[in-house]
Structure 1
Amino acid sequence: MERIQSAIAKARAAREGQPSPERPRSSAPQKVERKLDAWSDIPMVELKPKHLRAHRIAAFESGAPAAEFDRLRTRVLQRMQTEGWRRVAIVSPGPRNGKSTVAANFALSLAKQSHLSGLLVELDLRRPSLGGLLGLPGGLDVTRVLKGEGAVVDHMVRLRDNLIVAPSSPMGSGTAEFLQDPENVAALNRMIDELTPSITVFDMPPLGVGDDVIGFLANVDCALIVAAAGQTSIAEIDTCEREVAERTSVLGVVLNKCRYESKQGEYGYGYY
């Protein structure tokens, strides 16, 4: 882990001094007033603890695994609040790095902050997995809302009073074009404006599978990169961070699937 951390730090230092891309700022996420009618109409689902634990969704409860994600949440929120950011993309260099697991845990940890509200939007239209990870009902597809083919209340669910999840279904071809279509982006913005969450979390496709991510990053304030220990190479992490940093602000790199000896247990993550 130290070797990876050092390599990331050196690569990041080599890029210091380069100007960050100009992006409009969102207003700060603290105490944003939700539009309660819009939220109350969205059905609440009951989470099944056994299912969540089996899929490494730990942040719905307290304990050592959840504490790791709570620390990540706090660090991310502190930076976002300082910068006035409200939209964060969760990306990864390649598939099976655990980005959707991190996105789900981050959103559930966010919901523990009762003064904030969160919206988790699944935009990995190639291989969506949030529904399976969280044990959600089938048939939910946020892309139908964006295309005007379905209502928000029919394709989103609440996991908490202050957390909405908008899952998607596999689209097949044309995913990058869908995410870059101005009409779809405008519909997404209207949906977010209607719900007015404090923080919107986008679960994005892996960077290396196409141009879905790089075409969409102009619509977010910042990004969190998720890599897998023992699977993602240092070169892949560096390439991903460089590509993302050219388009939005990088909050950090979550090294997922770490195995280390600690008082909290052997399975966890590192954040750099």
Structure 2
Amino acid sequence: MSRIFDALKRSEAERSGIDLSERSQAAEMMQRTERGIPPRWKTTVLSEHLDTPKSADRDALSGLPSKPHGETLSESSVAVELPQTEEQLNPFGQFRSLQVALGPQSRLVSLAESASPAAEAFRLLTVRLRHLRRDQTLKKVLITSTIPQEGKSMVAGNLACTLAVKTQQKILLLEGDLRRPSLSKMFGLGRNPGLCEWLEGESSLAASIYHLEEPDIWILPAGSAPSNALELLQSGRLSTLMDRLTAWFDWIIIDSPPVLPLADTSVWMRLADGILLATRQGSTEKRQLLRGLEAIERRKLIGALVNSSNNAATSDYYYSPATIPHK
């Protein structure tokens, strides 16, 4: 009898010790959690002394498939496979490559005449943009002008190519002038689906962006000319698109429409980090320039470029900081 009594006491003591140990661990876990300190033991292992549902009940509660008697579910068999989106995939493995075909009178001096003074001017512009980037967010750079035919598309194309050479980063050239696109023709690409098709839901993003191997940049062309350009740009899909592109690329150079004739540029200006204004000597009138400046967010204006300038001793193009008169 005494031996049975002693055994019962030992058993009770052991159970009491287990309960105290678990209470102590639970209390310590709560204290460490409140202080933001991770627990010192694996909390995924359930104690065999806790009242847990039977395996079939656990499966029913968790929504997992019931397992046959005597079989166990491995970790891989219960993993839920979620559908992958374009953001989760590596986008650069999806984009089709296109060959650049420059004409004899190509305006892409950064590729066709890399040793020319004009190409050097774009290298200088690249250096200044990189310096500005040290002090402010500057990933999405908008190139615009006051009126058409002032060389904004030429500036955008050359700037994108020069950035690719100088920085070895991922550069996207975005053709935002949906009404009068010219970048695809400048690079000799022909007509391909692009921004319009994606905004209309007719094309995937992977089928709308192309890699240009020669300058090692990516381009999102305008695509087919729509009849409702402003309506497409004002849709919520454009903001979603820019968020996605910003996560993918180091620089996004946007060739937008001119400021004065159209309202399209105001949409792009809201999405850009900085704005470069292209002007042409002998073409841009002062009153037009001032009207254009009134439509631009001055806090985003980072500079102006003068095309065909006689004031630059050895260059056809030069960069001027944003010391532009207000009136």
**Fold equivalence (TM over 0.5):** yes
Task: Report SS of the residue matched to 1:206.
Answer: coil
**In structure 1, distance between residues paired with 2:88 and 2:124:** 28
Task: Report SS of the residue matched to 2:308.
Answer: strand
**For the Cα contact (< 8 Å) 2:139–2:250, is it kept in 1?**
yes
**For the Cα contact (< 8 Å) 2:121–2:319, is it kept in 1?**
no
Deviations 1:230-252 (A, max 9, x none): 11112222222232125x51011
1:178 aligns with 2:232: yes
Task: Report SS of the residue matched to 2:132.
Answer: helix
Query: In percent, how many aligned pairs have the same letter?
Result: 23
Match of 2:110 in 1: 59
1:252 corresponds to which letter in structure 2?
G
Match of 1:200 in 2: 252
- Which residues of 2 match residues 3-152 of structure 1 at below 5 A? 37-49=90-102, 51=103, 54-60=105-111, 62-64=114-116, 65-152=118-205
Match of 2:303 in 1: 252
1:141 corresponds to which letter in structure 2?
G
- Taking a change above 3 Å as real, the CA distance of residues 81 and 179 of structure 1, as seen in their structure-2 partners, is farther
Runs of 4+ aligned residues of structure 1 deviating over 4 Å after TM superposition are: none
Q: Pick the structure with greater CA Rg.
A: 2
**In structure 2, distance between residues paired with 1:188 and 1:120:** 12
**For the Cα contact (< 8 Å) 2:260–2:291, is it kept in 1?**
no
Number of residue-to-residue matches in the alignment: 232
- Taking a change above 3 Å as real, the CA distance of residues 225 and 106 of structure 1, as seen in their structure-2 partners, is same
- Taking a change above 3 Å as real, the CA distance of residues 261 and 206 of structure 1, as seen in their structure-2 partners, is closer
Q: How big is the shift at 1:143? A: 2.0
**In structure 1, distance between residues paired with 2:89 and 2:302:** 30
Q: How big is the shift at 1:261? A: 7.1
5+ long unaligned stretches in structure 2: 1-86, 322-327
Specify which structure has the bigger relative contact order, considering alpha-carbon pairs within 8 angstroms and separated by 6 or more residues: 1
1:234 aligns with 2:234: no
**Given the alignment, which residue of 317, 321, 324 partners 1:268?**
317
After TM superposition, the score normalised by the length of structure 1 is: 0.77
- Taking a change above 3 Å as real, the CA distance of residues 36 and 57 of structure 1, as seen in their structure-2 partners, is farther
Match of 1:225 in 2: 277
After TM superposition, the score normalised by the length of structure 2 is: 0.65
Deviations 1:104-159 (A, max 9, x none): 00000010134422111111011000000111132232221233311233222212
1:155 corresponds to which letter in structure 2?
S
**For the Cα contact (< 8 Å) 1:119–1:197, is it kept in 2?**
yes
**In structure 2, distance between residues paired with 1:261 and 1:216:** 30
**In structure 2, distance between residues paired with 1:125 and 1:70:** 28
Task: Report SS of the residue matched to 2:219.
Answer: strand
**In structure 2, distance between residues paired with 1:261 and 1:207:** 26
Match of 1:159 in 2: 212
1:159 corresponds to which letter in structure 2?
L
**For the Cα contact (< 8 Å) 2:125–2:319, is it kept in 1?**
no
Task: Report SS of the residue matched to 1:235.
Answer: helix
- Taking a change above 3 Å as real, the CA distance of residues 109 and 36 of structure 1, as seen in their structure-2 partners, is farther
1:254 corresponds to which letter in structure 2?
L
**For the Cα contact (< 8 Å) 1:116–1:198, is it kept in 2?**
yes
**For the Cα contact (< 8 Å) 1:47–1:134, is it kept in 2?**
yes
